[in-house]
């Protein structure tokens, strides 16, 4: 069985050190950049030629299926934090299939659970009893606080957020919903209304009754702020925070309250959606205390509070199992997907018995939701998270990662912000550190491609595509961090010197 992470001890007198190489470290040469070892060898690739695959992609698949990087990768195999292309080249995957691979590519425990269940029973729908969905529901709800005890299984994050919208509207009898600008909650015709990223919207009717409020961004936002991260924005100050609440919170909450007053009938609403840390939007965190005050205001207007944990759940933030716990809140509904199945199509909505009772007024059915294979996989993921101490790894390796990325911010003026918590990390690239103007797409692409060529796969996000999204399989090690920071340092040095 795979033994998770932390391969290099970083211990001195029994104490784990979180410091790394000192400032002024020489830029590593290509010879110095040694990829950490991996004891897995992929089998030879026997599929179609890459040229043929690209032709099929261009002619037979949706033209909206864009590929990352100037020269698309043809991925053949995966193991834990590693991906292998059709030539056998190994890459350190720091994007995890868009924040979906939680415990590692092809984790042996997950493979075993799926194989065992597939050999026994794939599908009956839930018109019959089968054991796995019941075992899984019991185990999953045990991870959640308060009265969050009733689970609905679906197949994707968009489905989960669609269902949460319906639940809130039916339960409250209200229609209007609030989300934050820069948020992403899905791309289905229904959830696209929740998403407040123009790059993800089409010109068709959507967003009925949905209002997007000002995003409380500590780096780019109007009033800045301090956040729950080992690394603060250059705009933050210790004097900003009093009793755990940032001074900018009142101003951002004032903007939310204005929308309630001016845009909603009688100020009544059905729900407020929020990611604990914005994912697609570029790992944006909120000022300390914002979410708690927002939840209080929303509930005073009759609304439910919905936490989108599609990217920030399952221990990724390190300190807590669920991202919302870091804000000191308990929502009324939680949506989850991606890491819940480690790449298997699985998602869920968890709510209270009171909200669930409303949903019993009519039939509700999802053909594949909670099918035997998905339930077996989900249960195995929870077991692997515990057995491999994944949450601890996120906290310790993630903090180490953030601290070392922050040194790049000090060394290179194009690194505008380093932020995040655990292994949900963002690095915002800029043209000008003082104005925070986003880095131009050509330079961003050059850095992105160069890191890939040296063996590191980074994600990219934010409205302007200028934020490197680092959300790897949560089994990465200190050695992986050192390699990544070395690659980034080398690429930034070369790019800035040209």
Residue range 295-346, pLDDT digits in tens: 999 999 999 999 999 999 999 999 999 999 999 999 999 999 999 999 999 9
Rounded distance between C-alpha atoms, residue 74 and residue 54, angstroms: 9
| 347 Cα distance to chain centroid | 14
- The set of residues, in sequence order, having a beta carbon less than 8 Å from that of 398 and lying 6+ positions away, is 318, 420, 421, 422, 423, 424, 425
- The set of residues, in sequence order, having a beta carbon less than 8 Å from that of 243 and lying 6+ positions away, is none
Positive/negative CA dihedral, 119, 123, 128, 132: positive
Contact 25, 411 (CB under 8 A): no
In this structure, what are the phi and psi dihedrals at residue 117, rounded to the nearest 5 degrees? -70, -40
* 241-242 and 333-336 strand pairing: unpaired
What are 75's strand-pairing partners?
A: 85
Q: In whole angstroms, how far apart are CA 116 and each of 110, 111, 123, 137, 153?
A: 10, 9, 14, 19, 21
- The set of residues, in sequence order, having a beta carbon less than 8 Å from that of 228 and lying 6+ positions away, is 285, 288, 326, 327, 421
Rounded distance between C-alpha atoms, residue 334 and residue 346, angstroms: 15
Can you give the pLDDT at residue 189? 87
H runs (alpha helix) in 238-350: 249-263, 290-300
H runs (alpha helix) in 330-475: 353-358, 372-387, 390-411, 441-453
What are 227's strand-pairing partners?
A: 287
Rounded distance between C-alpha atoms, residue 37 and residue 248, angstroms: 46
- Comma-separated ranges of CATH 3.90.1150.10 domains in the chain: 11-69+76-94+389-423+453-497
Domain with residues 121-387, CATH architecture: 3-Layer(aba) Sandwich (3.40)
Q: In whole angstroms, how far apart are CA 366 and each of 73, 162, 370, 413?
A: 35, 13, 8, 50
- The model's pLDDT over 269-284, given as tens digits with 9 standing for 90+, comes to 999 999 999 999 999 9
Contact 154, 348 (CB under 8 A): yes
The CATH number of domain 11-69+76-94+389-423+453-497 is 3.10.20.30: no
Contact 20, 403 (CB under 8 A): yes
- Comma-separated ranges of CATH 3.40.640.10 domains in the chain: 121-387
**pLDDT beneath 50: ranges in the chain:** 1-23
Can you give the pLDDT at residue 361? 85
Can you give the pLDDT at residue 9? 36
Rounded distance between C-alpha atoms, residue 453 and residue 391, angstroms: 30
Question: DSSP state, 72?
Answer: -
Rounded distance between C-alpha atoms, residue 149 and residue 138, angstroms: 9
Can you give the pLDDT at residue 29? 65
Query: Dihedral through CA 167, CA 171, CA 174, CA 180, nearest 10?
Result: -40
- The set of residues, in sequence order, having a beta carbon less than 8 Å from that of 200 and lying 6+ positions away, is 184, 187, 192, 280
């Amino acid at each position: 069985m795979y033994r998770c992470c932390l391969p290099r001890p970083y211990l001195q007198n029994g104490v784990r050190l979180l410091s790394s190489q000192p400032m002024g470290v020489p830029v590593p040469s290509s010879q110095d950049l040694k990829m950490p070892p991996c004891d897995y060898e992929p089998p030879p690739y026997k599929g179609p030629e890459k040229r043929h695959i690209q032709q099929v992609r261009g002619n037979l698949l949706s033209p909206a299926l864009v590929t990352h990087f100037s020269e698309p990768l043809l991925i053949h195999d995966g193991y834990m934090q590693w991906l292998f292309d059709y030539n056998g080249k190994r890459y350190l995957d720091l994007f995890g299939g868009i924040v979906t691979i939680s415990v590692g590519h092809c984790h042996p425990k997950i493979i075993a659970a799926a194989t065992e269940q597939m050999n026994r029973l794939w599908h009956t729908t839930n018109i019959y009893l089968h054991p796995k969905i019941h075992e899984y529901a019991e185990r999953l709800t045990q991870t959640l606080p308060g009265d969050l005890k009733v689970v609905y299984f679906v197949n994707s994050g968009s489905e989960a957020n669609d269902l949460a919208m319906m639940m809130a509207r039916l339960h409250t009898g209200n229609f209007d919903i609030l989300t934050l600008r820069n948020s992403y909650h899905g791309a289905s015709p229904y959830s696209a209304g929740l998403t407040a990223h123009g790059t993800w919207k089409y010109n068709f009717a959507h967003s009925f009754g949905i209002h997007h409020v000002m995003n409380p961004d500590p780096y780019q936002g109007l009033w800045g702020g301090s956040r729950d991260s080992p690394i603060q924005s250059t705009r933050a100050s210790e004097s900003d925070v009093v009793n755990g609440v940032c001074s900018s919170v009142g101003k951002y909450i004032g903007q939310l309250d204005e929308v309630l007053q001016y845009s909603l009938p009688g100020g009544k609403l059905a729900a407020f959606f929020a990611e604990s840390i914005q994912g697609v939007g570029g790992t944006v965190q909120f000022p300390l205390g914002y979410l708690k005050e927002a939840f209080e205001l929303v509930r005073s207007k009759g609304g439910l509070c919905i936490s989108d944990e599609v990217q920030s759940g399952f221990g990724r933030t390190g300190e807590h199992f669920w991202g919302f716990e870091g804000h000191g809140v308990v929502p009324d509904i939680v949506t989850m997907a991606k890491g819940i199945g480690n790449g298997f199509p699985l998602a869920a909505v968890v709510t209270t018995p009171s909200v669930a009772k409303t949903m019993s007024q009519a039939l509700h059915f999802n053909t594949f939701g909670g099918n035997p294979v998905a339930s077996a996989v989900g249960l195995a993921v929870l077991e692997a998270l515990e057995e491999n101490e994944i949450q601890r790894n996120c906290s310790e390796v993630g903090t180490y990662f953030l601290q070392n990325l922050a040194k790049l911010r000090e060394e290179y003026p194009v690194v505008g912000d380093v932020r995040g918590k655990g292994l949900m990390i963002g690095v915002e690239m800029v043209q000008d550190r003082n104005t925070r103007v986003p880095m131009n797409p050509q330079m961003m692409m050059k850095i992105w491609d160069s890191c890939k060529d040296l063996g590191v796969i980074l994600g990219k996000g934010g409205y302007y595509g200028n934020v490197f999204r680092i959300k790897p399989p949560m089994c990465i090690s200190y050695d992986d961090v050192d390699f990544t920071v070395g690659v980034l340092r080398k690429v930034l040095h070369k790019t800035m010197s040209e």
